A and B are shown apart, each in its own frame.
Chain A
């Protein structure tokens, strides 16, 4: 940790070699997050590169008491959110709509717990449904889910990354998970996983 702190200090003094070490140390984390957020390797590369460039340029504002990885994540998430937040962006699917199926209109409400859970879970298609559901979520919800479920961040870390309160993290995560669950359940039904 001390070594990282030293590298940061040197990089703050425009030592590019030190910053390169930091890039090498953190590129895995930043790139993985970028790809999960953007869902596309090429976009991920652009996003991750931009995150590092901005990190370097604003390194002077980085305070030593924060975690450098979290700070980089914050820049990455914010960059991505900023792109997604633009008006008219993103596909938002209303999860509360009724669903038209062969059997008539279906309400997206209480989940059907039938079917064989193991078979469902093992299925590659089901995993795809979950991935697709994640893509359909509003940007903030997607980001909070990725940070919590995939990056394994604590509520505190998410609050630091997304610059919001713990209460906001809790409610945002709750809404995001519920939206994800509803979408998955309904689409899994469509694919014939449950009947």
Chain B
């Protein structure tokens, strides 16, 4: 056995995983080879340090289990979607309301909806989508998915969710869903059955949502979640395929809400800010999904159902959040500062070799301080690399 062969066996030898034959040959070599002995010893020491450095117990942050369960419960909490609204079969009502909504609005969003596209983005400042680490501009893209009529249909979704429990008032058979022509009639001639509240239910065509100033300057083209999924080899590997499941809010949704899809990176920061805003503005999270980006960060996609009257406010919050998170120094600045500090640290280290007494103490103190600063900078650089908010098509 030569040195090269022997060194390949050092690792399994440490673990007692050599076969009898290997063991004999290995021992024979080691007895006469000081270099291999030294290398084996060195490896053992390095591994000992590795074990030692990991001896500090790591405990989950408080509330970790709660956060897992909260998310799971949210996802499991599927409430029956109301099939009839004040006597009108849901689908009819939804479509009617949507149509009303569409007719009532004469703006950009509607035109795009009718044209069947969402390309109402103005190309401008290009954000870094390639995971090169540059901080992305705060991005706000609005995808005004217009209400339920555009959905595959809540009733259909229901049929895919067998665990649905709870009362269902007067379920309407799927087959009775009228054709669109009839919907117009429904709008024109409201059912005589339900009295007064009908008016409250009907969406009042309010002012067209106005995008926060500047938001359309940032283009976003992000792959859809389904694309991400198919790129995810792990899912295929482990067959942990997760069907996208919409979680309906326990409150009956108003029919003229607008759904926004947000994509949030640096989950811990941004999504909390968004959750706060959503809470204040009555926006309901209807979907949450985790994706992966090429820069190895987890990314969450949220879908919010936002009351129409609060859409502007919500968009402003999103925009502000994105801006807030981007108002840090550019990554280049931090890197430069880091390198300077690192240089200083190395100088201090060099000087400390020859220093003694009070001088040595001062230098050591300075070294400690610089190390702290370096750590902070390092952290800042990492955070910046990952903060992004965008709305997704």
Q: Which residues of A contact B (CB under 8 A)?
A: 14, 16, 19-20, 23-24, 27-28, 31-32, 35-36, 40-43, 45-50, 52-54, 56-58, 61, 74-75, 78-79, 81-90, 110-111, 113, 117, 120-121, 126-127, 130-131, 134, 145, 148-150, 155, 163, 170, 173-174, 177-178, 180-181, 184-185, 192
Contact = CB atoms under 8 A, between A and B. Distances in A.
Given A23-B68, A56-B72, A83 B49 contact: no
A14 B163 contact: yes
Contact of B7 (A28, A42, A178, A180): A178
B58 A180 contact: no
Contact of A177 (B43, B72, B298, B349): B43
B152 interface: no
B129 to A, nearest CB: 13
Contact of B42 (A28, A58, A134, A185): A185
B238 A75 contact: yes
Contacts of A181: 39, 42-43, 46
Contacts, number: 170
Q: Interface size class for chain B?
A: 35 or more
B350 to A, nearest CB: 9
A78 B236 CA distance: 12
Contacts of A57: 240, 242
Contacts of A23: 65, 68-69
A31 to B, nearest CB: 4
B12 A174 contact: yes
A155 B12 CA distance: 10
Interface class of chain B by DSSP: helix
Contact of A90 (B71, B290, B296, B298): B296
A52 B238 contact: no
15 contacts: A16-B69, A16-B72, A36-B54, A49-B71, A52-B68, A58-B240, A82-B232, A111-B38, A121-B52, A130-B53, A148-B15, A149-B54, A150-B51, A180-B47, A181-B39
Interface of B: 7-12, 15, 17, 35, 38-39, 41-43, 45-54, 57-61, 64-65, 67-69, 71-73, 75-76, 131, 163, 232-234, 237-240, 242, 267-268, 290, 292, 294-298, 349, 353, 382
A85 B236 CA distance: 15
Contacts of A82: 232-234, 292
A84 B298 CA distance: 11
Contacts of B233: 82, 85
Contacts of B17: 155, 170
Given A20-B65, A54-B240, A58-B238, A180 B50 contact: yes
B298 A47 contact: yes
A39 to B, nearest CB: 10
A130 B131 contact: no
B50 A145 contact: yes
Contacts of A89: 131, 294-296
Contacts of A75: 238, 240
A27 to B, nearest CB: 5
